Amino acid sequence: MADIVAPEVRSRMMSGIRGTDTKPELTLRRGLHAIGFRFRLHDRSLPGKPDMVFPRYRAVLFAHGCFWHGHDCPLFRLPSTRPEFWSAKIARNRDVDARTDEALSRLGWRQGIVWECSLKGRSRRSLDEVIGNCAAWLRSDTPRLEVRGRE
């Protein structure tokens, strides 16, 4: 299927997609800050520039978009235009995620991922539940957290 907009328009649309300060990320930041958690944002000294860094808890939190990270949920659907390009791009993103995960683990950082589908769509969880899961994980010694939408 051919793209329905001109290449210049598509390029402008794609350049408007944010990499930081996304809606899911801002939602998490507001919720965690409101219950007393303090964090640094996008620390360039750590692999993968985590969305939120909690030095006191030796933990990092990522707010992953289901499309860009190839999550197996209803929010992810491979585009019908240029499927080879998108498959390769998403595979590269997943590979970078795996390398980042390994590097952070080697450095002794605990890692949490909050998927976009946990905050949006039919399978979303309540915001209180998502924030509560993150807060409980931060206070624990559990090495990993993954918050997904309801199955």
Burial of 64 (0-12, 13-18, 19+ CB in 10 A): buried
Residue 132, domain member (yes or no): yes
Residue 133, domain member (yes or no): yes
Closest to 61 measured CA to CA, from 115, 133, 112, 136 = 112
- Quote the number of domains for the chain: 1
pTM exceeds 0.75 for this model: yes
pLDDT at 16: 66
**How many angstroms separate the CA atoms of 23 and 29, rounded?**
10
> Binning pLDDT at 50, 70 and 90, where does residue 14 land?
low
Residue 9, domain member (yes or no): no
For 60-112, the pLDDT digits (tens) are 999 999 999 999 998 888 888 888 999 999 999 999 999 999 999 999 999 99
Residue 12, domain member (yes or no): no
Closest to 23 measured CA to CA, from 145, 124, 95, 146 = 124
Residue 49, domain member (yes or no): yes
For 46-66, the pLDDT digits (tens) are 999 999 999 999 999 999 999
CA 29 to chain centre: 13
pLDDT at 119: 95
Residue 31, domain member (yes or no): yes
Residue 2, domain member (yes or no): no
CATH of the domain at 90: 3.40.960.10
